[in-house]
Amino acid sequence: MIIEANDISIRYILGDFKDIGLKEYVMRKVKKNYHVREFWAVDGVSFSLEKGDMVGIVGGNGAGKSTLLKAISGIMVPTKGSMKINGNISALLELGSGFDGDLTVQENTFLRGAMLGYTREFMNEKYPEIISFAELDEFQDRPFKQLSSGMKSRLAFSIASLVKPEILILDEVLSVGDGAFQKKSEEKMLEVINGGVTTILVSHSLDQIRRMCNKVLWLDKGKQIAFGETEEICDRYQEFLEKK
């Protein structure tokens, strides 16, 4: 088992001092008018993935998909439940995050590699492939902030998928870039999966999920509606969407 999520719940606290600022917090405390609300963005989710699985996570806006990805990638600790992960993770969450706008494309690539735990030698070896897949050969020495958003996402995708992780997490990234790059990145993803990488993909495109995933996790308002084989769950989800 590569990933085993057992009854995961994740709570956000709304209105604490991180949201309202320290000054407002003190004011409200003094006036005895300080309240926090809790909100369960993910509530009792369980699933397990084997090596080479590609799971698609579906669900409407606010279903808890991105929050769950943050827990899988280790950015957030679940409030309840246990998450067992056996393998190194390469996560591609909010695009452009984890890059430094003033550093060059090349510097950022090495920085990202280091953040993912790879050695300089490994990155030296992979670098040409990453840059050429991202089609950014002519932009290597430009500051990252000068790239278009499509170029930024191409670079992020290229790094995440070419460094050979054991677990790859992709949040809506296969829908970025232009049509040609989308096609190319889907092909790359299939190649990566065939190489035995376990992949978790959030996508609003059911067609894409049907084409690429062997399992699907369906969330709705934080709750798990279903986890199972792609065809069955996609059919049920599609029916649900049509009835809405």
Ligand X SMILES: Nc1ncnc2c1ncn2[C@@H]1O[C@H](COP(=O)(O)OP(=O)(O)OP(=O)(O)O)[C@@H](O)[C@H]1O
Instruction: Catalog residues that contact ligand X under the rule CB under 6 A.
Output: 12, 14, 39, 41, 59, 61-67
Angle at 214 between CA 212 and CA 219, to 5 degrees: 95
The Cα 110–Cα 119 span in angstroms is 9
Which residue number, 30 or 77, has a Cβ lying nearer to ligand X? 77
Please report how close the Cβ of residue 34 comes to ligand X at its closest, in angstroms: 17
The Cα 171–Cα 168 span in angstroms is 10
The Cα 46–Cα 86 span in angstroms is 16
Which residue number, 64 or 113, has a Cβ lying nearer to ligand X? 64
The Cα 75–Cα 231 span in angstroms is 31
Query: 198 with 121: CB under 8 angstroms?
Result: no
Residues 6+ away with beta carbon under 8 Å from 232? none
Which residue number, 36 or 114, has a Cβ lying nearer to ligand X? 36
Please report how close the Cβ of residue 219 comes to ligand X at its closest, in angstroms: 7
Conformation bin of residue 113: beta by default, left when phi > 0, alpha when psi is -120 to 50 = alpha
Which residue number, 39 or 241, has a Cβ lying nearer to ligand X? 39
Which residue number, 75 or 115, has a Cβ lying nearer to ligand X? 75
Please report how close the Cβ of residue 222 comes to ligand X at its closest, in angstroms: 7
The Cα 207–Cα 192 span in angstroms is 19
The Cα 12–Cα 29 span in angstroms is 20
Please report how close the Cβ of residue 221 comes to ligand X at its closest, in angstroms: 8
Please report how close the Cβ of residue 19 comes to ligand X at its closest, in angstroms: 8
Which residue number, 59 or 113, has a Cβ lying nearer to ligand X? 59
Please report how close the Cβ of residue 36 comes to ligand X at its closest, in angstroms: 11
Kind plus residue range of the DSSP H or E element containing 226: strand 223-229
